[in-house]
Amino acid sequence: MSLLSVIVPCFNEEENVEPFYEELLKNDTFFREKGVDIEILYVDDGSQDKTAEVVKKLRKKDERVHLLSFSRNFGKEAAIYAGLEHSQGDWLVLMDADLQDPPSLLPEMFSWLEQGYDSVATRRVSRKGEPPIRSLFARLFYKLMKKISKTEIMDGARDYRLMTRQMADAVISMQEYNRFTKGIFGWVGFRTKWMEYENVERARGETKWSFWKLFLYSLDGITAFSTVPLMIAAVAGVLFCLLAFVMIIFIIVRKLIFGDPVSGWPSLVCIMLFLSGVQFFCTGILGQYLAKTYMEVKRRPIYLIKEKI
């Protein structure tokens, strides 16, 4: 028998743990026929509700259920990493607890692995049921990333992904603290099959991602997979030097020909304000990268475990 590990990051998902389990096990016969065992690893990302208790209750019924509890909320990225590190499967699949990653796709995904792919990833082609503002910014983010990053980051990509042990090990070997899984999967490479499906709305409970959290996360993505903003800062500096040079020549020539004394501090104030704005902006970009570097060099653990069953 070979083993398929299902990794489920959970943050306050008490109402979803059981329905997810039921839904997943609808594939039980399919996998049994293929000679594949399933293990389900719920990674409790510091939930405040009864998520851990519900998982423990499930475990009493079914030995294939496992639980990993964090000491506090470390974020979904940390939960994914811990899940990959702690599962034994020959294949691994990442799935949300809220049934937005339909388990019914698993048999088809599995068949792609059998055809020689290393990984089967999913992307949603629609964003129905999502606030329009959120969709708009998400689209902009992916467009921007396409331009400024060499790593392929697919628009609408979900974290729902089935992969071989080999690919999971490659991801585990990337021990960076600022994790942006969508980029990491692109970076490690391997043959990936993309499957598309219509967006499914969350079954129960509420999304854990506020607009602000997503915004900060997108900055993580940019700094982790592109250094183009740093270059923009440098290029802006050069451009402004050139502009200043042209202005100097212009003013000298005007003075020599027309004897026109340079007047007007309003224009001067505008230029100063504009340039100091640009300077702050560039320092801000530098600061972002410096801050990320600071967090990396501290080499703090990505997560801390409170309980493992």
Count of H helices and E strands in the chain? 11, 8
The Cα 298–Cα 296 span in angstroms is: 5
Query: What dihedral angle (degrees, nearest 10) is formed by the CA atoms of 156, 142, 78, 191?
Result: 70
By rule CB under 6 A, what string of x and - marks binding of each residue 19-48 to ligand UDP? Answer: --------------------------x---
Tokens of 7: 């990794």
Q: Is 209 in the site for ligand UDP (CB under 6 A)?
A: yes
Nearest approach, Cβ of 214 to ligand UDP (angstroms)? 8
Strands of 165-242 (E only): list them.
Answer: 192-197
Establish if 124 lies at the interface with ligand UDP (CB under 6 A). no
Residue 288 interacting with ligand UDP (CB under 6 A): no
Strand order in the sheet with 157-164: 192-197, 119-124, 157-164, 91-94, 2-10, 36-44, 65-70, 305-308
- Indicate whether 183 belongs to the interface with ligand UDP (CB under 6 A): no
For 77-178, list the strands marked E by DSSP. Answer: 91-94, 119-124, 157-164
DSSP letter for each residue of 42-55: EEE-S-SSSHHHHH
CB of 105 to ligand UDP, least distance (A): 16
Nearer Cβ to ligand UDP, position 82 or 233?
Answer: 82
Of the candidates 13, 14, 110, 157, which one interacts with ligand UDP according to CB under 6 A?
A: 13
Stretch that binds ligand UDP, among 70-78, 112-120, 184-192, 287-295 (CB under 6 A): 70-78
Residue 103 interacting with ligand UDP (CB under 6 A): no
Judge whether 4 and 89 are in contact, CB under 8 Å: yes
Considering beta carbons, is residue 40 or 97 the nearer one to ligand UDP? 97
Residue 279 interacts with ligand UDP (CB under 6 A)?
no
Residue 83 sits at the vertex; the CA angle it makes with 190 and 182, to the nearest 5 degrees, is 45
CB 236 within 8 A of CB 289: no
* 135, 207, 279, 288: which one binds ligand UDP (CB under 6 A): 207
Using the rule CB under 6 A, give the single segment among 186-194, 203-211, 227-235, 279-287 that binds ligand UDP: 203-211
Cβ(83)–Cβ(7) under 8 Å? yes
In whole angstroms, the minimum distance from the beta carbon of 9 to ligand UDP comes to 3
Q: Which residues pair with 38 in a beta bridge?
A: 4
> In the block, which residue shows the tokens 């590990």?
5
Q: Binding partner of residue 97 among ligand UDP, Mg ion, none, CB under 5 to 8 Å per kind?
A: ligand UDP
R_g over Cα of the chain? 25
Give the nearest distance from C-beta 16 to ligand UDP in angstroms: 7
| 56 in contact with ligand UDP (CB under 6 A) | no
- Nearer to ligand UDP by C-beta: 11 or 112? 11
With CB under 5 to 8 Å by kind, the binding choice for 279 among ligand UDP, Mg ion, none is none
Query: How many CB atoms are located within 10 Å of the residue 95 CB?
Result: 27
CA distance 206 to 49: 13
* Binding window for ligand UDP (CB under 6 A); candidates: 96-104, 170-178, 255-263, 265-273: 96-104
- Which residues contact Mg ion (rule: CB under 5 A)? 96, 98, 100, 202
Instruction: Give the footprint of ligand UDP on this chain (CB under 6 A).
Output: 9-11, 13, 45, 73, 75-76, 79, 96-98, 100, 202, 207-209
